[in-house]
Structure 1
């Protein structure tokens, strides 16, 4: 490819220090993701797929975890070396992530609209009224019926497939360049899985973003 890689991971090593010893969760991983591309990361449970994605987001819990070596180059900078304050600007804005289980990632005491709006207000610096309009627009884009009504509902009022769509709406609300999807269809039935994957693909086309898709299901 002639174009430059959006993300370049070189010799990434993320270790966990436990009482039983050192767990080498990620041990020398290399890959590149180009703009508009989908990269599939496939492997059995426990092989380090999620830890790789959390390393890119700099969300590995420390202690016990630590990025031990390697580079994560994004936008001309090594994400392993920049201050946390800088990383917060990138996280959720330039790089977004959809987690495996939306019920644990969504806050049960806030409406889904408030949770989408929070990211929009933080990164796009708009007022509450405009953030709400954008949140409703995002819910519509991810195929949630009656978005004007759903925006004021709580996560427990939505089905699993709907919650996953809310997670995608949150992740895409700031037009990220890279979307990391960590087993985004694990808890869903097969027909909903197909819908979510199709949705992510069409959103990728319209936004021109890259996707890092993590799964243990090769099919």
Structure 2
């Protein structure tokens, strides 16, 4: 297996060149590095592109989602609610859209830097270490990721690096359920139990179902 940098600890291209539903649980325990902070992934979500109504690429390629169509090993970053950045690992094969959202993790190194990034500008309040990367926007902010990192090469070609887990997680340690805030068939997310997390990890984010659609009057 190979990466693009020669660093033996980075995730290999072959590891990511699989469907998102296969890659997602295997990313649990992997570490993402950026700008002095490292985060061990404890929660992720799979998105299956044009076969997945919850994916940003469901309706095909656009300027916003073009990196999602491969090749694997790059970072898809998007801006949400006019204030938050979230990050995804692109996987699958070149030409198809597959990605894994980085939902939550444990800050391993760079705690002071992560705390400073997550300190409230309004109140000066610093979140607990458990909450530094507990949610996709918090994780991206703790790592210092911005829209400037869109398309970053995670396998050795940029300042953002994805380090392979020590080994596959124990299947009994992995839980799965509906994605957070994503509707599925019938209006809820239960038809797509594509969120994966490590059991008994305090950094896993709380589950929130999608808001119900409002009926037009």
Q: TM-score w.r.t. structure 1 length?
A: 0.24
User: Which structure shows the higher helix fraction?
Assistant: 1
**Higher-Rg member (1/2):** 1
